[in-house]
Amino acid sequence: MQYLTREFNNYILRFGTTDKMYHKMPPVFQFEDYAQCMSKPDGVYCMTKFALVSDTNSELLYMIQNFSEHRIRHYNHSKLHYGVCLTKTCAEYYYDGDKKRDTRVALEGCLNNTFWKKYKLKTKVLEVVDYNNEDNKLNIGYGDCAIAILCFALLTLNLIGSIYDIFYIQKREKQGNKVLLAFSIKRNWEKLFAPDFYNPRLKRLKVFHGVR
């Protein structure tokens, strides 16, 4: 009789789960408010995937596993995806006085406690990605400074070369300093958009002027 009852329950789980049975299972996806968590200076938010386990025979876990076997019709409720604000929801597991515990250890302890209280089940963390405000800080290195100085130098040369070309050379009709004129935006613009068809050899290459 027990065997028949279990087989009947399996059939119901796979092909016709009732609302009452379905709501006994924890949700597959659950995400706490990321923005609210990270609004705190020391906020740590974790994205995690974990499996439901049990040290003893659990009717709920058995039901979840049977339900999840039919992948075409059902989500896998034995592996859950959660977003947890570690510094709020799991603060007692994360903080050890003034010190901070390992993220994975703290998260697993917190989830174990939560799921044991609610479902009499334990959890095994499979994946965890944590985000904190330290990651969002802009770290400027020597390479960044070098690029910034180079860009500033080029812009300065462009400005000086353009002013020199427009206000000094063109008004006085002189040849001027070729190095400074090489950075003139006006002169470079004219060269860029003025195809040279005076040289017969270059006429064959006029198709490339559009690319230029």
Contact status, residue 180 vs residue 162, Cβ threshold 8 Å: no
What mean pLDDT comes out for the span 28-32?
94
Q: For residue 52, list its beta bridge partners.
A: 123
Assessment of whether the complete model's pTM goes beyond 0.75: no
- Residue 110, pLDDT > 80, answer yes
Amino acid 142: pLDDT: 82
Would you say the C-alpha torsion 43, 108, 81, 21 has a positive or negative sign?
negative
Give residue-wise pLDDT tens across range 159-186: 888 887 777 766 656 677 777 777 887 7
